[in-house]
């Protein structure tokens, strides 16, 4: 798994981003134990934005987010995450798309 | 500008939004188009194939200056198992015509050009502006939008929601349901750069000729999904996508699938030595006809991916987007010309016109296909590709076994895997869904 993790970071390194510091466009609802939708995000997010912390909770870091919306489809209906688009001009900036 | 009132506000600058904004502006309407990217195209992701016919309707002389990559002279379909592929290739010199039918394009560059045409036609295009909310009056009629750029509302007679597959505005306002895991696919894609001559040699192409490969089989590990390899001038778009519900159920990772697809012995030589310059991901509407939401209401219409208008069987999306955007704009123009209000009753014209076009007719034809592919994904994406591959190998490998015994063993492998009833059932269900 760690080998895959390195590879995803390398992939994201090709991309251009304008990070909106301090204004994450995705928020995970605070939880003691993660729900099934949150656990699914650890695997399905193509940018590996979701990680499990030492306390066993799922955290999100949106800096590498490619704004596909998959996590919204899976985890917004249950209220596990809040999802908005980044402010205009911020986020991933595709050169090719 | 905020005090100005517009005839129409178009949210989004993808294929649908640009087609709508261009058509509205060409008809003389006062149009504001809002796009959250730094320029039109910077948030847009597609394979990508451009269908000339639909663009020609909008911009007849687009070939003069549009950033096109290669005109397609060939299509390859690959049914893959882990070490083989069975292919169906169609290549024709007849596709080498002055006004070619299909081109590969790079969306960020193409959309930037498309947007320049929208501006030339007279629309106001405002980028780096995320629309946060629809503005509605006391009766619920959509009367404009709120953005993250300015305070207050911007008003218009009608709002065209061209906000893409993951559109937040319409779903938050309850105009349509948000996409479900079983009617959207997640696709990941890389751009592999190679010298032009290398691409032409590896794909057997001359000059600006292009080819695309659509691949299905064990690469999706039993999930409903497809891989694709598109030849551009100096790069190759390579990606794979599967239903979100299947990712969720299997715990497969999208980048894991992509890496395995790239390492497949049929794929690896095509991209060997390439330099990757981008990694993108995007959702694709896969629900088909049955997932199309309400398309219009008081003061609004929805077009393109946001309305799930994608033909998953033929891998056509951008042409449905462009056509729905254009038709919505024409309907709005007709209502406006009659000096009538943009009510749901009047905007129903958009649906009537769309129903009469190839967009809805094609989606209706394949209305049962998404469910069949999803429920039977193990058979169609794992079992059959493996069986067909083994059958081909059995047919070709010369080892002294009499042909009659070889054929009997191939037949036995099919029956053992799916049973007679299963085989006939699958054939019948497939034929019925295709009809």
pLDDT in tens, A68-87: 999 999 999 999 999 999 99
- Chain A residue closest in CA terms to B249: A40
Give the integer Cα–Cα distance in Å for B20 and B158: 12
Please give the pLDDT value at position B396: 93
Mean pLDDT computed over B326-336:
98
Distance from CA of B196 to the nearest CA of A (A): 17
Return the H-helix or E-strand segment holding B377.
helix B377-378
What confidence tens digit (pLDDT) does each residue in B249-293 have?
999 999 999 999 999 999 999 999 999 999 999 999 999 999 999
- Chain B residue closest in CA terms to A76: B178
Instruction: Tell me the pLDDT band of B3, cut-offs 50, 70 and 90.
Output: low
Residue A6, pLDDT > 70, answer no
Nearest CB to A88 within list B107, B129, B283: B129
Mean pLDDT computed over B324-343:
98
Q: Which of residues 136-155 of B touch A (CB under 8 A)?
A: 147-149
- Indicate left, alpha or beta for B153 from its phi (over 0: left) and psi (-120 to 50: alpha): beta
Give the integer Cα–Cα distance in Å for B143 and B145: 7
CB contact under 8 A, A88 and B127: yes
Distance from CA of A26 to the nearest CA of B (A): 13
Residues of A with Cβ-Cβ distance to B43 under 8 angstroms: 67, 91-92, 94, 97
CB contact under 8 A, A69 and B283: yes
Q: Where are the domains of chain B?
A: 5-69+105-177+290-365, 184-285, 369-434
Mean pLDDT computed over B152-177:
96
CB contact under 8 A, A68 and B109: no
Residue B161, pLDDT > 80, answer yes
Please give the pLDDT value at position A2: 47
Residue A4, pLDDT > 80, answer no
Residue A23, pLDDT > 60, answer yes
What confidence tens digit (pLDDT) does each residue in B19-35 have?
999 999 999 999 999 99
C-alpha distances in Å from residue B142, one per residue of A72, B101, B208, B244, B344: 25, 39, 47, 32, 10
Determine how many CB atoms are found less than 10 A away from the CB of residue B397. Answer: 9
Residue A5, pLDDT > 60, answer no
DSSP β-bridge partners for residue B86: B79
Give the integer Cα–Cα distance in Å for B66 and B70: 12
Residues of B with Cβ-Cβ distance to A40 under 8 angstroms: 247-248, 251
Residue B403, pLDDT > 50, answer yes
Give the integer Cα–Cα distance in Å for A11 and B277: 9
Nearest CB to A14 within list B109, B166, B277: B277
**Furthest-apart CA atoms within chain A: distance in Å:** 41
C-alpha distances in Å from residue B130, one per residue of B41, B78, B307, B397: 14, 40, 19, 60
Interface test with B, best of A1, A77, A96 (most B CBs within 10 A): A96
**By the CB < 8 Å criterion, does B297 face chain A?**
no
- The chain-wide mean pLDDT, for chain A, equals 94
Distance from CA of A12 to the nearest CA of B (A): 6
The per-residue DSSP string of B106-155 comes to -HHHHHHHHHHHHHHTT-EEE-S--EEEEEE-TT--EEEEEESSSSSEEE
Residues of B with Cβ-Cβ distance to A44 under 8 angstroms: 186, 244, 247-248, 253-254
Please give the pLDDT value at position B125: 98
Instruction: Tell me the pLDDT band of B428, cut-offs 50, 70 and 90.
Output: confident
Instruction: Tell me the pLDDT band of B57, cut-offs 50, 70 and 90.
Output: very high
Residue B235, pLDDT > 60, answer yes
- Chain A residue closest in CA terms to B148: A87
Q: ipTM value of the model?
A: 0.95
Q: Which of residues 29-68 of B touch A (CB under 8 A)?
A: 36-38, 41-46, 48
Name the CATH superfamily for B5-69+105-177+290-365: FAD/NAD(P)-binding domain (3.50.50.60)
Residues of B with Cβ-Cβ distance to A73 under 8 angstroms: 166, 178-181, 184, 244, 283
Q: Which structural domain, as residue segments, surrounds residue A33?
A: 2-93
Give the integer Cα–Cα distance in Å for B257 and B340: 52
Pairing verdict, β B5-11 and B153-161: parallel
Instruction: Tell me the pLDDT band of A1, cut-offs 50, 70 and 90.
Output: very low
pTM of the model: 0.95
| CATH classification code of B184-285 | 3.30.9.90
Residue B294, pLDDT > 90, answer yes
How many domains would you assign to chain A? 1
CATH of the domain at A48: 3.30.70.20
């Amino acid at each position: 798994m760690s080998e895959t993790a390195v590879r995803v970071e390398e992939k994201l390194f090709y991309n251009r981003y304008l990070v909106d510091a301090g204004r994450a466009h995705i928020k995970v609802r605070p939880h003691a134990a993660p729900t099934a939708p949150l656990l699914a995000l650890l695997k399905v997010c193509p940018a590996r934005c979701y990680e499990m912390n030492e306390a066993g909770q799922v955290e999100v870091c949106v800096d590498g987010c490619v704004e596909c919306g998959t996590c919204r489809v899976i985890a917004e209906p249950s209220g596990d995450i809040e999802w908005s688009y980044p402010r205009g001009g911020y986020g991933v900036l595709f050169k090719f798309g | 500008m905020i005090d100005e009132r517009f005839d129409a506000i178009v949210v989004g600058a993808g294929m649908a939004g640009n087609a709508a904004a261009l058509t509205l502006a060409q008809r003389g309407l006062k149009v504001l188009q809002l796009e959250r990217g730094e320029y039109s195209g910077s948030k847009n992701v597609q394979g990508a194939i451009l269908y000339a016919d639909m663009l020609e309707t909008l911009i007849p002389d687009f070939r003069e200056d549009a950033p096109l990559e290669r005109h397609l002279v060939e299509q390859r379909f690959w049914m893959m198992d882990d070490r083989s592929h069975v292919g169906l290739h169609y290549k024709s010199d007849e596709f080498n015509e002055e006004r070619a039918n299909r081109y590969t394009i790079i969306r960020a560059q193409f959309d930037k050009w498309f947007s320049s045409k929208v501006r030339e036609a007279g629309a106001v295009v405002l980028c780096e502006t995320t629309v946060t909310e629809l503005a509605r009056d006391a009766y619920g009629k959509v009367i404009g939008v709120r953005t993250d750029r300015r305070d207050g509302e911007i008003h218009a007679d009608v709002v065209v929601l061209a906000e893409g597959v993951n559109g937040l505005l319409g779903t938050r306002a309850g105009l349509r349901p948000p996409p479900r895991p079983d009617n959207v696919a997640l696709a990941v894609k890389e751009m592999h750069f190679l010298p032009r001559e290398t691409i032409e040699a590896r794909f057997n192409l001359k000059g600006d000729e292009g080819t695309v490969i659509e691949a299905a089989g064990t690469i999706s590990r039993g999930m409903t999904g497809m891989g694709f390899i598109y030849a551009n001038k100096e790069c190759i778009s390579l990606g794979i996508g599967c239903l979100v519900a299947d990712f969720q159920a299997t715990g497969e990772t999208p980048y894991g699938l992509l890496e395995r697809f790239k390492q497949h012995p049929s794929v690896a030589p095509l991209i060997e030595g390439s330099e990757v310059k981008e990694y993108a991901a995007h959702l694709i509407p896969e629900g088909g006809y049955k997932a199309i939401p309400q398309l219009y209401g008081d003061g609004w219409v929805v077009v393109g991916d946001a309305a799930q208008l994608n033909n998953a069987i033929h891998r056509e999306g951008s042409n449905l987007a462009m056509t729905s955007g254009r038709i919505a704009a024409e309907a709005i123009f007709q209502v406006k010309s009659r000096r009538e209000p943009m009510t749901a009753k009047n905007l129903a014209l958009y649906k009537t016109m769309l129903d009469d076009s190839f967009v809805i007719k094609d989606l209706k034809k394949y209305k049962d296909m998404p469910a069949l592919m999803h429920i039977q994904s193990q058979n169609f994406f794992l079992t059959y590709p493996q069986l067909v591959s083994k059958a081909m190998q059995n047919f070709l490998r010369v080892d002294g076994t009499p042909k009659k015994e070889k054929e009997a063993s191939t037949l036995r492998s099919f029956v053992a895997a799916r049973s007679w009833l299963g085989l006939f059932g699958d054939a019948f269900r497939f034929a019925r869904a295709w009809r």
